[in-house]
Amino acid sequence: MVALGLLKKEWNQYRKIFLSVFFGLTFILPIMILLNYIFYQNNEYLQDTFQIRFEENNLHQINSIFVFLLAIYQLGQERSRGTIDFTLSLPYNRSVIYFTKWLMGAMTIVFSIVLNTVLTGVILSVTNADYEGFLGYFSFSIISILMLYTLVFAI
C-alpha cells in the first residue's frame, strides 16, 4: 500500500536526485547513438550502413552507477540529516514507508528506461540504422537495473 502523503514528501525531499537520475538514464544512450551517427557521417572509410550492436554496449555500468547513487541517496540522506526519526514517527507502518520510497525510485527508473526505449527507437528509425538486440537490451536493462536498485535499497 502506498500513501499519497508519503509520495509527496519523497518527491519534495528528493526531487533533484529523481530528476537527475531520470534525465541521466533517459538521455545517455540516445545521445551516444547520435554522436556515433555524426561520426559515421563524417568518416568516409566506414561501412555502407550505420550499425548499432546493443549486445556490445557498456551502458549498463553507467546506468548501474545512477541507480546505485539513487538508492544510497534516498536512505543515506535521511539518516545523515536526522529526518529518519521524523519519517518513522509519521502515522504509517515502517513497511509502507519503505515501500513508498522504493516505489518512487522504481517508477523513476522504469519511466526513464521506457522513454529511453522510445527515443532510441525514433533515432534508429530516423537514421535508418542496422541494429540487433534492441528489445532484448531494454528488457534486460529494466530487469537488471530494478534488481540492483532493490538490492542496494534493501541493504
- At residue 105, the pLDDT reads 92
What interhelical angle do 94-127 and 134-154 show, nearest 10?
160
What is the tens place of the pLDDT at every residue in 35-63? Answer: 888 888 887 666 677 788 777 777 778 88
Each residue of 51-106: pLDDT tens digit?
Answer: 887 777 777 788 888 899 999 988 888 888 877 778 778 888 888 888 888 999 99
The answer to whether 129 and 50 have CB atoms below 8 angstroms apart is yes
> In the prediction, which pLDDT does 16 show?
92
pLDDT of residue 134: 83
Taking each helix axis from N to C end, the angle separating 134-154 and 59-81, rounded to the nearest 10 degrees, works out to: 20
**What are the extents of the domains in the chain?**
4-154
Q: Give residue 45's pLDDT.
A: 67
Full-model pTM: 0.86
Give, as one character, the DSSP assignment of residue 82.
T
